[in-house]
Structure 1
Amino acid sequence: MVKVAAEEDGGAAVVVREFHEDRDRAAVERLECACEVGPSGGKLCLFTDLLGDPLCRVRHSPAYLMLVAEASGGPLGGAAEVVGVVRGCVKTVACGRGKLFSKVAYLLGLRVSPGHRRRGIGRRLVERMEEWFRQMGAEYAYVATDRDNEPSVLLFTQRCGYAKFRTPSVLVHPVFRHDLSPSRSGRVAVVELAPREAELLYRERFADVEFFPRDIHAVLSNPLSLGTFLAVPGSAARSWRGVEAFLAAPPGSWAVASVWNCKDAFRLEVRGAPRLWRAAARATRAADRALSPWLLRVPSVPNLFEPFGMHFLYGLGGAGGDAPRMARALCRHAHNLARRAGARVVATEVGACDPLRAGVPHWPKLGAEDLWCMKRLADGYGGGALGDWTKAPPGASIFVDPREF
C-alpha cells in the first residue's frame, strides 16, 4: 500500500492516495476530460476517453498502481475534489546491451486540473509513485512526454531529477475507406505467426533491443493483441516451413510486427483543428465516395473530430537492406485489419535512428515527437561494469510496449 501524504495548498489540504475505482472513477473521468493530450499552438490536440476504465493503460502490466491527488474544500469547507492523477507500472525489460535485463518502472497518465497547476501537485504525485517503484524493486523509472510540452519536460528534468534519454517518434496513418495492397509488385508476402512462433522469433532476434519486455509471452497472448505478421520475399512465403526453419536460414531481408487493439481500451478525438482542416477532410471523404465506383480511390481522411478508435503496431523490426519495404507491406496489411475492425488510424512508435522508419507510411500532422526521460532509482544495469543505463548511447531501435501506449 502507498502511504497517504497530505500537504497544505493555499489553505486546502492536498492528499495523495491510492485510486479507489468505485469512489474515484467519475472524478477521474471529469479530470481527464478537462486535460487535453498533446501540444497546442497550431498542432492537433488529442483528447483521450478511457472508455470507463481509468486503469486501462496499466491494467495489463505485471504490477501497476494509480494514485490521485485530492484537495479538500479549504477554509470555507466544501466537498473534496480530485485534482490530479498518475499511473505507474513495473516490469523487467532488456537494457539493450548484451541481453541484460533490468527492472524498470514506467510513469504515465500524469494529469493535474487546470485550476490547480503550478502548485507542486504534479511533483508530489511523481515522488509518491517513485516511492512505490522503489518498494517494488525498480532500478530505473522512465516517462514519455511530448518533446514540445515545455512544462512537462521541465517538471521531469529540473524538478524530479530525470535525464533526457531517447527521442522516438509517434507515426500515425489514417485508415481509408478501401484496402491497400501490401505489395504492388507481389514480391513481398505477409505470413501470420501463431503466438508461440511470434514469441520464439522475438526472443531470438529482439532480446537485446532496449525495453524489450521479458514477459513478451503475456503481451502476445493478451486478448488485445490481434496477431503477429512477418513480411518476407514471395519466394520465401511459398516455401514457408515454420518459424524454426526461418530462424535457421532467414532470407536476406524481412520485417515483423504485431497489432494491438487500442480501440477497445480507449478512444481519441482531435480537438482544436482549424475549420479549413475539417472542411478539407470532409472533401476528401466526399471525393472518395463519389469516385470509388470507378475505382479511382482517393486517400480520404476519416472523421477524426469525434471519438474514434486506433490500432497500434508494436514490435516492428527486421533485417536486411530491403527491410523498410517489408515494413511498408506490414503497415499496409495492418491498415486493412484496422479498416475491417472500424479503427480510424494506425499508429506506431519508432526510435530516432531506426532504419525501418523510412518504410512506415504516416501523415506528419497526425504524429508527434516524443521525449523519453529516465531516472536511476537504484544500482543496476549489470552490477556496475556497464555503468548507468541513463548514460548509455541509443541503439538502432527500441521496443514500445503496447500496454503502455
Structure 2
Amino acid sequence: MIRGCIKHVGTRFGGRHVKFGCILGLRVSPRHRRMGIGLKLVEAIEEWMVENGAEYTFLATEESNIASNNLFALKCNYVKFSSLLIYVQEDCSSLNNKPQPQNIQIEKLSIDEAIFLHKRHQGTKDMYLADIDKVLNEKPSLGTWVSYLKDDGWDIGLSKRDIRDSHDVRSWATLSIWNKCETDQKKLIIQNAERSRRSSISHLVEKQHQQQEPSSFLFLHGLFGEGDRVGELVESLWWFAMRVAANMNCKAMVTELGFSDPMSEFVPRGISSLSYTNDVWYAKRVSDQEDDLTMKGMFGNVAVDPRDF
C-alpha cells in the first residue's frame, strides 16, 4: 500500500502557491519485497498526483533505510534536497513536576494571533503551508502558546505592530500543538495544564512504541522564536508541552525541525527519554509545464503539515 495527499504550498519565489504531492507512507509485505511492487506503487500515486494538478512530489524516509533511499533516488529519479531532525519525547510524565521558572510567562494565543505569528514565521522559509489558518482552526489543533520574559511583557496587539520594530530587544518563543491522542477530555486537560504553571513521524513512533498504540502522541509544530534568551523560552514551552501530553496520557511527543533550523539547538537534550533521528527529504518534478523556479530554489526547510500525521 501507499498513502499520499496533495496540498497547496506557498513559496517566496515569485510569491505564488504550488500544488505539491506528498507521499506519506509506503509499505510492502516482507514476503513480497524485491519484486518491483514498491516501484509500481510509487508510479501509480505519481500518476494520481499529476491527474490532480500536482507540479512536484516529495517524501521523507529514514537516513538508515537503504532500500527506501535506493528506490526513490536510483529507480524513481528523486533528488535529495534537505534533511530533517525528528525528535521523539517518550515518557512525558517523567518531568511533569518540573517547576516553571518564575521569570517566564506562557500564554495561549487566540487563533488570529496564532495565524499572525505563523505567517510571520513563513517569511523566513522558502516554502510554507498556504492554509495555516485552516490547520489552526481544525478540531485536533489544541492551540498556540507564546513564552516570554515577564519583565518584557507581551503586546497582544500583534496585528498592529511588528515586535521587531520595538526599540527594546525582546525574547519570545512560540509553538502549536496538534492532538494525536485519543481523549474526550481535551479542553479540561489543557485548562488544568495551564493553571498548574501559569503553554513522517508515525512510522518512527510506531517503531519506538511497538507495544503501544502508535497514534497516541502530540505533534509540536510552528516552533519559532527570537531574542537573546530564546533558548530558555523554547525549553519552557517544551516542558509545558510535556505536561499537556502527560495529562492527556499520550505515549509520546514529537516534532520535526530542519537540519539547519536554529531552533534545533534549543530542544532540551539532557532528557533520557528524548531521542532523535535524521530523515532524508526527496523531491521530484512531475509536471511538464514551464516554470521559472529551480529545484534548488524551491526546496529549503519545508514546513510540515500536522494533518499528515
Q: What band does the TM-score fall into relative to the shorter chain? A: 0.7 to 0.9
From the superposition, tell whether residues 106 and 113 of structure 1 become closer, same or farther in structure 2 (CA, over 3 Å). Answer: same
Q: Which has the higher contact order (CA 8 A, sep 6+)?
A: 2
Residue in 1 that maps onto 2:199: none
Partner-residue secondary structure (3-state), 2:151: helix
Pairs within 5 Å for 1:182-221:
183-184=100-101, 186-221=102-137
Does structure 2 retain, via aligned residues, the 8 Å contact 1:324–1:355? no
- Higher Rg of the two aligned structures: 1
Match of 2:75 among 155, 159, 167: 159
Q: What is the distance in 1 between the residues matched to 2:262 and 2:97?
A: 23
Identity rate, percent: 32
Residue in 1 that maps onto 2:176: 258
Q: What is the distance in 1 between the residues matched to 2:96 and 2:170?
A: 28
The question of 1:366 aligning with 2:270 is answered no
Match of 1:179 among 96, 100, 110: 96
Does structure 1 retain, via aligned residues, the 8 Å contact 2:13–2:298? no
Residue in 2 that maps onto 1:67: none
For 2:41, the aligned partner's letter is L
The question of 1:347 aligning with 2:254 is answered yes
Pairs within 5 Å for 1:4-403:
85-97=1-13, 99-174=15-90, 175-181=92-98, 183-184=100-101, 186-237=102-153, 240-245=155-160, 247-248=162-163, 249=165, 252-264=170-182, 268-270=205-207, 305-307=211-213, 309-362=216-269, 366-378=275-287, 383-384=291-292, 387-389=293-295, 391-392=296-297, 395=300, 397-403=301-307
Shift, 1:261, TM fit: 1.1
Q: What is the distance in 2 between the residues matched to 1:199 and 1:191?
A: 15
Q: What is the distance in 1 between the residues matched to 2:55 and 2:207?
A: 37
Shift, 1:314, TM fit: 0.6
From the superposition, tell whether residues 369 and 180 of structure 1 become closer, same or farther in structure 2 (CA, over 3 Å). Answer: farther
Does structure 1 retain, via aligned residues, the 8 Å contact 2:11–2:298? no
For 2:242, the aligned partner's letter is H
Partner-residue secondary structure (3-state), 1:338: helix
Aligned-residue Cα RMSD (Å) equals 2.7
Shift, 1:270, TM fit: 4.8
Which structure 2 residue ranges, 5 or more long, are not aligned?
184-201
Shift, 1:194, TM fit: 1.5
Does structure 2 retain, via aligned residues, the 8 Å contact 1:99–1:207? no
Q: What is the distance in 1 between the residues matched to 2:227 and 2:14?
A: 21
Q: What is the distance in 1 between the residues matched to 2:17 and 2:70?
A: 29
Does structure 1 retain, via aligned residues, the 8 Å contact 2:127–2:299? no
Partner-residue secondary structure (3-state), 1:126: helix
Partner-residue secondary structure (3-state), 2:228: coil
Q: What is the distance in 2 between the residues matched to 1:269 and 1:128?
A: 26
Does structure 2 retain, via aligned residues, the 8 Å contact 1:304–1:344? no
Deviation digits for residues 62-118 of structure 1 (CA, Å, limit 9, x no counterpart): xxxxxxxxxxxxxxxxxxxxxxx1111111113354644321110011101111111
Shift, 1:208, TM fit: 4.8
Does structure 2 retain, via aligned residues, the 8 Å contact 1:94–1:209? no
TM-score with structure 1 setting the length: 0.63
TM-score with structure 2 setting the length: 0.82
Q: Return 149-158 or 251-260, whichever deviates more.
A: 251-260
Does structure 1 retain, via aligned residues, the 8 Å contact 2:127–2:298? no
Q: How many residues align?
A: 283
From the superposition, tell whether residues 182 and 102 of structure 1 become closer, same or farther in structure 2 (CA, over 3 Å). Answer: farther
